[in-house]
Amino acid sequence: MQKPKARRWVCLAAVYLLTAGIALLGWLWHSLPDEICLEPGQPLELPRFRWVEPLHRTGSRNVASTRAAGSYQATLSLGGWLPVKTVRAIVTERPRVTVCGTPFGIKMFSEGALIVGFSDLDTGNGPVNPAKQAGLRLGDRVIRMGDTLTETNEAVKEALDAAAGSAVPVVYVRNGEQQQTVLTPVWDAAAAQWRAGMWVRDSSAGVGTLTFVDPENGVFAGLGHPISDSDTGESVALRSGEIVACEIIGCTSGTAGRPGELKGRFLGTHALGSICINGENGVYGVARAAFAGQTLPLAFAQEVVPGDAEIWTTTEGETPEVYRVRIEKVNDADPRRNMILRVTDPELLAKTGGIVQGMSGSPILQNGRLVGAVTHVLVNDPARGYGIFAQTMLKQAANVSETPTAAG
């Protein structure tokens, strides 16, 4: 009687261990990067996964330690014998960029008029709202009304005046898809004009931090996240934009549940650069002026490890200062939240309470290399925030030359 019972326990234990092993391999496969960059002659090593190395039997223990630039396949394994994931190893010279940390002003004009609110109209027969009746929603981007391209607020007004109470076809964008409807404006006697019952915005402005400039290509990168509309939260669809000089004139400290904010002032109207990309990983464009900073090597993503680091950020004036932080966690799986940071510098904590709005884009450095940029604050813990890999930002910056704005 004891032997069958013992066998059952052995079988259950084996099933449990097999399930746990499969789960571990699945987690590891998901956690490991799909792509690894290396310098010529640099061994393929993953400091955050010290028990992972190239598969021995392929003869690829240092498959990417070749001195020939190019792209290679490498199978990563546990202990050199259990295959886990095949990745692409790119052998390239280590990039060097001008690390900044300076504040910059942002002026952006959207592609179309963004609906940021609605207001019912009183026609004497009760409240009406033509925009809502046409099926338009908050966050929709109106790009044409009748024959008029609605790239500005004034163009929307002109289109409504031209319709003069007649039904007008409306082309708008919702969730990235172009759609059509018909809107009939009504006469607002109090304002003495034709109206649609919607508030629209054609531009955005704000303050951020410049992460780096690629001197080889004349491209800048900043923020680490897209510029979004303050009312709708929608990423602004870029028609054109520019960056200008800026100084920090004040700061509201962050507290748990209430993010702080740097207050900036634009210095003149001369454009320092043209914005070409407003992407999920930041704003990028063509530099039109020289930027102050220090030329430093860039860390490849797999080289970023938990531990002490520093950020360059500006809390007053135009000149950045260096503050101590600690990288608590590194994650390859989420391209927008590669790191969790904690501010450990008493001076920065006293000034700002930690990470505040306007610090987005502040360079993160570790072991003398640029590893990333600050992107967001944790609302319930302003001493902590997220960061993005510098390698990701540089890869996005390489696309600037392909944009119409850069070509123009």
- Burial of 374: CB neighbours in 10 Å, binned 0-12, 13-18, 19+: buried
Number of helices and strands (H, E) in the chain?
6, 26
Known active-site residue 360? yes
Closest CA to 89 of 71, 68, 66, 77: 71
Catalytic residue, candidates 110, 360, 362, 376:
360
Encoding tokens for residue 406?
């850069």
What gap in Å lies between CA 55 and CA 80, rounded to an integer? 5
Catalytic residue, candidates 77, 140, 225, 229:
225
Q: Where are the alpha helices (DSSP H) in 282-367?
A: 346-352
Catalytic residue, candidates 188, 231, 345, 381:
345
* Contacts for 151 with CB less than 8 Å, ≥ 6 apart: 109, 111, 112, 113, 143, 202, 239
Known active-site residue 147? no
Q: How do 198-214 and 103-118 pair as beta strands?
A: antiparallel
Phi, psi of 77 (to 5 degrees): -145, 165
Q: How do 35-38 and 82-91 pair as beta strands?
A: parallel
Closest CA to 51 of 66, 31, 71: 31
Known active-site residue 56? no
Catalytic residues: 225, 345, 360
